[in-house]
Amino acid sequence: MTAPALAVGDGSADLLPRWAALLVLLGYAGVLAVVGRTTTLRRDIG
């Protein structure tokens, strides 16, 4: 076994189902989009 394999595990267990991972990814994208838009609009109108 290599060191990265020990850090992550043996890779036999899925942490999330694909649909849940997709929801997490879309959630992060949505939050970052709102933060980016809010920051841009605040700095742009002044």
- DSSP calls for the chain: --HHHHHH--S-S-SS-HHHHHHHHHHHHHHHHHHHHHHHHHHH--
pTM beyond cutoff 0.75: no
C-alpha to C-alpha distance for 40 and 17, rounded to whole angstroms: 35
Per-residue pLDDT tens over the stretch 1-46: 555 555 555 666 668 999 999 999 999 999 999 999 999 888 766 5
- pLDDT value of residue 41: 83
Q: Distance from CA of residue 21 to its chain's centroid?
A: 9
- Decide if 24 contacts 16 (C-beta within 8 A): yes
24: Cβ contacts below 8 Å, ≥ 6 apart: 16
- pLDDT value of residue 25: 97
